[in-house]
Structure formats: C-alpha cells, structure tokens
Amino acid sequence: MPSMGADMDSGKLVEWKVKPGDRVKKGQVVAAVETSKAVLDVEVFEDGVVEELYVEEDTDVDVGEPLARIGDGSRVGKQKPQAAGKEQTQPASETKTEPEAEPKATPKKPSAKEPAVVPAAAKPESEGRVPASPAARRKARKAGMALADLRGSGPAGAIVLRDLQSAQPSKPATRPGPGPGFDRGQMRAAIAAAMSRAKREIPHYYLANTVDLHAAEQWLTGYNEHQPPENRLLLSALFMKATALALARYSELNGHYAGDGFTAATQVNLGMAVHLRGGGLVAPAIMDADTLTLPELMHQLRNLVRRARGGGLRVSEMAGGTATVTALGDRGVDTVYGVIYPPQVAMIGIGRAHRRPLAVDDGVAVRLSVDITLAADHRVCDGHLGALFLNEIEQRLQQPEAL
C-alpha cells in the first residue's frame, strides 16, 4: 500500500483491475484504493507479470503492507513469502530515489520487480460524466446500472460502492458488503489530523506581496481572443507556472521535512488545494510543473480539478507534492495565508484577482492585481529568502509571454 499523503495511513483496497497472470506495464492502473478523502488509482512501477495478489478486495490495508507480487511470471500462484516486506508497493517518494531497488532477500529471482507508484501524466477523462469511484463505476457497468440514476454519498456527491449496494434489489451481494466507505466526517478528521500536525510541528512564517496583473491580463486577453474554450488559459495557470519556476530556483521551499531534516526535491511537483463542491479539500500535485508549457499546465490543471471532484486521482498525485498552492477563487478573499501541508515546507496563497488603485509611475491607476502570500517553514529558511521567492513570482508575472 503506497503512501497517500501525510493524513492517510491506511486505505481500503476496493478493486483489483488485474489478476494473477496478467501482464502489466509501467504506469498502468492496477487497483483502486478508497481512503478517507478519495478513491485513488494505484499505478504499477515496472513492467512484468502479476504473480500473486496478497490482498482481497474490500480489505483495509496499512501503508507499507504488500499488495501484490510482480515478477517475470514464473511464480504465478506461488505462496506469499514470509518476509514479504521488500516486495511491496512503495511510497512514491522512495521509489523516485530507488527506482531500481530489487528485493534483496530474493537474489535467486532477479526478475521479480517491485510494483510501485510512479508520477504519471494526468490522463484525459471524458467530460461531464457522473462522479463515481472507479470501483463503483465498474460494478455498475457489470450490473447494468446507470450511474446517473443513483444518488452518490461520497465526496462531492460521487457515487461509491455502498450506493450501488443500497440501490440493488434484494439480490444477495456476490461478496461481503463493502462496509463503511469514506464520509464527510472522515474527510474532516483527515484534514484535522494533517493541519494539527502542521501547526504543532512547523514554525510557520508568513509574507505577502501585492502583484500588478496588468501585463498578465493584457497578454491573456490577447491569447484567449481567438481560442476555442477548450484551449483557453486562466490566470490560475499563469500563477501556477510562475510559482513553479520560482520554486525551482528557491529549493529551500520545495521539498519535504522528515525526521532527519529537510531534503530539497529534484523536481517541482506543484500541489493545488482543490475545494470539493459540498465540502472538503484535497491537494493533488502536477508533476514537473516548472517544465510544462502554459497550455500543458492548463490542461493538467483542468484535468486534476475534474478528477479531484469526480474521482480518478492517482496515489502518486496525492503523495508526490513538493509544495502547494491554495487559491480561494473568484468569490474568495483579498488575501489567503495557508497552513503548510506536511511534510512539505511551503504553502503559496493566491488571493482574489480584482481591480484596485495602484501607484504606477508617478500616478495612480486602477489595475487588476492579486495578493500572493507565502507560508514557509522557519526551520528550513528565513523570511529573507521567502521575500526573494515572492519577488521572483512577481517578476515572472510581469513577463507572461516568457512563462
């Protein structure tokens, strides 16, 4: 069971998408896991053959427990080894640093690979579909039930397994009931745990900067003028890109703080706090955000928001963030100061872009502008660096064509 973020230490395996003997490819989604916050897709890290599934569907599994064995296919159906600790789905952060790690306890089977999650590009999903967990989607398809006819009780009204269960006629279930799935209370508890830890352990410092968006607005209007809606950009994409570029430069804000101190990340996986309609919050990440073009970033942003609200987020996206942006949107507030999402060390807050008087040259002009803030971990860096970081974002936003 891979790590799914600081606030989740176990998950329920709700669906296997493969069976022993199946050949799998790196990046393929092999299972769905239901956590307190969402139903997530679990990806495999290596090519190989599924030899054995260790865990049955609808089982709660702690992070770090093995889920399955993947190898060259020579051991399909063989017994689970006693010391299975090495052959398991690894947290994303470990697999990135040790992608070639082999189970050292089993040198005689060098082809046995470790299935693990990898950062994968967001995969496009069809538009406007009914929000549902992957498990519920599949079960509904098997049972010939229309998702649109069901009432969802999951996050943002998403249809989860138990909704199908309750909607089914008296026909006995094919296997034991799914038990309690995630609910609002659990989501609240998960957020409470992570935020309490942040405020208990992380000495936050806070900075704010008002950024003139005149140049960004002009550029964006020109860019969007002749684009169909599916290719248009939002200011959010510019904010994300400018932030990602600044994080790449100021590595003290981009990484994880663990027991042995801070480790800077080698890539910028920019998390984005997504408000779920009806309550709750998830913070999936866009991988390598600093290397994406604006249209690519915008595409991933839309995709991520859609999947956050409708189901289909990947474990790697939930655990892989190296810093996070929070924006309270167009109806939000002028300024937002975030709470850092551990083990990250920085939260960037984007306020509401709105028109207000700004000093421009020797006069006063009414300009579109936004307050961008930083909440950073004082154990890792000081306000001086944070100020340079916010200024870097501001400078980047003055040259939108270069983003």
Partner 1 sequence: MNRDELRNAVLEELSGIAPDIDLASFDDNANLQDEYDLDSMDALNLAEAVHKRLGVNIPDQDYARMHCIAELLDYLEKKL
Which DSSP category does 335 fall into? Answer: -
Amino acid identity at 305: V
Which DSSP category does 149 fall into? Answer: G
**Whole-angstrom distance, CA of residue 37 vs CA of residue 39:** 7
CB of 354 to partner 1, least distance (A): 13
Residue 146 binding partner 1, by CB under 8 A:
no
Q: Which residue's structure tokens are 């006819």?
A: 149
Which DSSP category does 171 fall into? Answer: P
- What's the distance, Cα to Cα, between the start and end of the chain in Å? 37
Q: Which of 330, 383, 387, 401 binds partner 1 (CB under 8 A)?
A: 330
Residue 306 binding partner 1, by CB under 8 A:
yes
Q: Which is nearer to partner 1, 85 or 278 (CB)?
A: 278
Q: Which is nearer to partner 1, 190 or 220 (CB)?
A: 220
Q: Which is nearer to partner 1, 155 or 342 (CB)?
A: 155
Query: What are the backbone angles phi and psi of residue 220, rounded to the nearest 5°?
Result: -65, -40
CB of 152 to partner 1, least distance (A): 8
Residue 329 binding partner 1, by CB under 8 A:
yes
Residue 221 binding partner 1, by CB under 8 A:
yes
CB of 366 to partner 1, least distance (A): 17
| Interface map 249-288 toward partner 1 (x if CB under 8 A) | ----------------------------xx----------
Q: Which of 101, 193, 215, 234 binds partner 1 (CB under 8 A)?
A: 234
Pairing verdict, β 354-360 and 68-71: unpaired
To the nearest 10 degrees (0 to 180), the angle between helices 235-249 and 294-310 is 110
CB of 201 to partner 1, least distance (A): 32
**Which tokens is 210 given?**
């008002």
Q: Which of 38, 40, 130, 319 binds partner 1 (CB under 8 A)?
A: 130
Task: Identify any residues that bridge with 58 across adjacent strands, giving them in sequence order.
Answer: none
Cα distances (Å, whole numbers) of residue 387 to 185, 216, 242, 381: 38, 21, 15, 11
Residue 156 binding partner 1, by CB under 8 A:
yes
Residue 300 binding partner 1, by CB under 8 A:
no
Residue 331 binding partner 1, by CB under 8 A:
yes
Which one, of 216, 242, 239, 150, lies nearest residue 368 by Cα? 216
Residue 301 near residue 237, CB atoms below 8 Å: yes
Reduce the DSSP state of residue 367 to 3 states and report it: strand
Q: Which is nearer to partner 1, 73 or 332 (CB)?
A: 332
Q: How many Å is the Cα radius of gyration of the chain?
A: 23
**Which tokens is 364 given?**
């006063």
Which DSSP category does 278 fall into? Answer: T
Task: List strand residue ranges (DSSP E) for 111-194, in order.
Answer: none
Q: How many residues bind partner 1, per CB under 8 A?
A: 28
Q: Which of 129, 197, 214, 249 binds partner 1 (CB under 8 A)?
A: 129
Q: Which is nearer to partner 1, 227 or 395 (CB)?
A: 227
Name which of residues 37 to 76 contact partner 1 (CB under 8 A). Answer: none
Candidates 79-87, 149-157, 169-177, 316-324: pick the segment binding partner 1 (CB under 8 A).
Answer: 149-157
Residue 301 binding partner 1, by CB under 8 A:
yes
CB of 272 to partner 1, least distance (A): 11
Report the 10 Å Cβ neighbour count for 200: 8
Where on the chain is the footprint of partner 1 (CB under 8 A)? 127-131, 152, 156-157, 221, 224-225, 227-230, 232, 234-236, 277-278, 301-302, 305-306, 329-331
